[in-house]
Amino acid sequence: MLYARHITVTANTAEATLERTQFKVSKGFIYRAWINFPAGCAGLVKLRILHEGHPILPINKDAYINFDNYIFEVPLYFELKDEPYLITVEAWNEDEVYNHTIDLNLLVLPRAFVLPVGAGEGLIQALHSLIIKRSGE
């Protein structure tokens, strides 16, 4: 399932008074994220994504993501095992004048659709070595 949120962050919001947005997703793996920082953010809008207080993006608890006129796309492999499947976005805006809206998209796939990380490469290498052995015999 693809989840999309428009998150408007009020002007002149400090990290100490950051704004939290929560939304529910389905059980599975957060497989990919897209975060759109539109032109004008100028690196002043900062955010992080958490699940039950644990950081998903970025992985460091005290870090944040910020860009300007950029869609930040990142592959993930974060399993949501236990309810509630709540995602929290913490954001603040150091722009003293303008509110900014960030678009967040999360792709959550069921367990059955997700291969373990590296399984594809390992399978290809195993098949490759099998083919080379067969042809060399």
Q: How confident is the model at residue 82, as a pLDDT?
A: 85
pLDDT, one tens digit per residue, over 101-118 is 999 999 999 887 776 655
pLDDT, one tens digit per residue, over 84-97 is 899 999 999 999 99
Omega within 30 of 0 (cis) for the link into 84: yes
Please work out, in degrees rounded to the nearest 5, the angle formed at the alpha carbon of residue 107 by the alpha carbons of 105 and 108: 135
pLDDT, one tens digit per residue, over 47-74 is 999 999 899 999 998 899 999 999 999 9
With 70 as the cut, is the pLDDT of residue 128 above it? no
pLDDT, one tens digit per residue, over 16-49 is 999 999 999 999 999 999 999 999 999 999 999 9
With 70 as the cut, is the pLDDT of residue 120 above it? no
Q: What is the fold, at CATH topology level, of the domain defined by 2-112?
A: Jelly Rolls (2.60.120)
Rounded Cα gap, residues 62 and 13, in angstroms: 17
Rounded Cα gap, residues 103 and 63, in angstroms: 19
What's the pLDDT band for 126 if we cut at 50, 70, 90?
Answer: low
- Six token digits for residue 94: 């150091």
**Which residues sit opposite 65 in a β-bridge?**
47
Q: What are the extents of the domains in the chain?
A: 2-112
